[in-house]
Amino acid sequence: MTDGPQHFPPPGAPPPEESRSPLPAAASPGPGQAPPPGAWAPYAGTGGPSRGLALGAAHKPGAFPLRPLNLGAIYDGAFRIIRFNPKATVGAAVLVTAVAMVIPVLLTTVLTFTVGLGVSSSGDIDTDASTAELVGALAAYGSLLLSVLLSQVGVVLVTGMIAHVTRAAAVGRRLDLRQAWDATRGQRWRLIGLTVVINLMFLVLITVYVLLWVVVVVVSPSALLVVGWALVTVPAFICLCCWMWIRLYYLPVPALMLEGTTVFGAIGRGWTLTSQQFWRTFGIGLLTVVMGQIAGGTLAAPVTIGGQVGGLAFPEYAALVLVVTQAAALVIQNAFIAPFLASVASIQYVDLRIRKEALDVELMREAGILS
């Protein structure tokens, strides 16, 4: 497939007479007939499949063009997916995070108005407090940590849902929250298992590196050797983690959800798709993470600052204010970061399959552009 601006006029632009697409148009329902179940509503600006469709529009039946994508097309597609599927993207992320945050908020509220919490106005544990207050403070903060972990499990499920949303958006279909959730049926435990396996890999790697550090510090006769060890191994360890992130962690989720493979089969698919595409995939992924963290932190900053001010203004309720504001900040961050990161990763998965496996032909057939 030739890639170039001259071959992809803007969607909806009238084609020259010699460039009209010879491809057959999708059959449309006759008078009085309803479209088949799951029939897609065209995304704004795409025009949808119709007779006399321009070649450029034919290559973009949904949120992004069905051709090798550049950075701008990937980000544009991600924002379109979020914009036109808000319930299945932002709504799902907010829902799972808010449900998880109910636990620490309720527990901290009860403890604050019963036994009290041994927390200073800055939110630190007050060592001069009674035993009951110290236990209450530890329980409140412990429940917050547990809820953060639970919310991350929920975000993993949301990532799987967004993979299905992206696949549907590629051909112009939209999924609501229930449809996206139903699409993950039979794959949820495998998705959680995949996350556990990959994180265990990273945990083992970090543990081995920390143990090596302990050995070096213990047996090293001088601090100069420790500094030299740090200068050599810290950059190497960071590079290794980045390499593992792209080759083993970045694309297995969409592969698992969309190909129906096993946990290790999904890891293998991620490895295969990123082969000879590491730097491009890494650059887009790293830029996306940086953008997401900056945007999420900026959105949550007013809530975080409000919590610090509230703790100083009402020191007797400092723990409650801190937990509530941290919960709200996490909901706000996940509302943007999780859908954006998942959408970009899923589009990159589709892009790599288009480049390596001609997935665009299959998607065009599904969209009714090709017979």
For all residues of the chain together, what is the average pLDDT? Answer: 82
* Helix ranges (DSSP H) in 69-130: 71-84, 92-112
Q: What percent of the chain has pLDDT over 90?
A: 57
Residue 174 confidence (pLDDT): 92
For residue 270, count CB atoms less than 10 angstroms from its CB and return exposed for 0-12, middle for 13-18, buried for 19 or more. buried
* pLDDT exceeds cutoff 60 at 23: no
Residues, the chain, total?
A: 371
Question: Does the pLDDT of residue 134 top 80, yes or no?
Answer: no
Least confident piece of the model among 130-139, 262-271, 281-290, 332-341: 130-139
pLDDT at residue 5, as a whole number? 39
Residue 199's identity, in one-letter code, is: N
Kindly tell me if the per-residue pLDDT of 357 is higher than 70: yes
DSSP category for residue 91:
I
Residue ranges covered by each domain of the chain? 71-358
Q: Is the pLDDT of residue 359 over 70?
A: yes
Rounded Cα distance between 131 and 56, Å, is 70
* pLDDT for the residue 125: 64
297 φ/ψ sector (left φ>0, alpha ψ -120 to 50, else beta): alpha
Distance CA 275, CA 338 (A): 25
Provide the whole-model pTM: 0.79
